[in-house]
Amino acid sequence: MNKGRKITGGKYHAYRKKKKYELPGVPRIVHLKERKFKVLRALGGNEKIVLLSCNLANVTDKKGKTKKVKITNVLETPSNRFLARQNILVKGAIIDTELGKAKITNRPSQEGTVNAILIEEKS
């Protein structure tokens, strides 16, 4: 069957265009560099901090203590292996820090920080 067509062959027409708040946002990629961010106006006049690059992470260990440490490398990214090669920070990525291996638990591109949980400690 032809996509977007009725059984008779006629076209389906959209009853309206998308409103501004329904449009998708610009995909922002967070690189492993010196911290750089942008402040955007969100709905209702609120402010949203968008991270463009970052080299620090809030890493929580198994005892519940959180430290701000430097990220040295992105080891692997389960969602896309090519992101790890380019040192791009996304949720679920395994990063190498001064404390050891850690997993990113938040979405850095939307929250303005990098939060992670320690997986392996350096000996």
Across 5-17, average pLDDT:
91
What band does 4 get if pLDDT is binned at 50, 70 and 90?
Answer: confident
| Structural domain contains residue 111 | yes
Q: What pLDDT digit, counting tens, does each position of 42-89 carry?
A: 889 999 999 999 999 999 999 999 999 999 999 999 999 999 999 999
What band does 122 get if pLDDT is binned at 50, 70 and 90?
Answer: confident
What does pTM read for this prediction? 0.81
| Structural domain contains residue 94 | yes
Determine the distance from the C-alpha atom of residue 12 to the mean position of all C-alpha atoms in its chain, rounded to a whole number. Answer: 36
| Structural domain contains residue 76 | yes
Q: What pLDDT digit, counting tens, does each position of 22-44 carry?
A: 999 888 999 999 999 999 998 89
| Structural domain contains residue 13 | no
Tell me the CATH number at 117: 3.10.290.70
2 pLDDT more than 80: no
- Cα–Cα distances (Å) from 96 to 15, 41, 76, 108, 118, in that order, read 50, 33, 10, 16, 10
Across 97-115, average pLDDT:
94
Across 86-111, average pLDDT:
95
Our count of domains for the chain comes to 1
| Structural domain contains residue 47 | yes
| Structural domain contains residue 114 | yes
Domain of 69, in residue numbers? 25-121
Q: How far apart are CA 74 and CA 85, in angstroms?
A: 8
| Structural domain contains residue 10 | no
Q: Which residue has the tokens 């519940």?
A: 64
Please write down the HEC assignment for all residues of 36-105. EEEEEECHHHCEEEEEEECCEEEEECCCCCEEEEEEEEEEECCCCHHHHHCCECCCCCEEEECCEEEEEC
Which SS3 state, helix, strand or coil, does residue 25 take? coil
| Structural domain contains residue 59 | yes
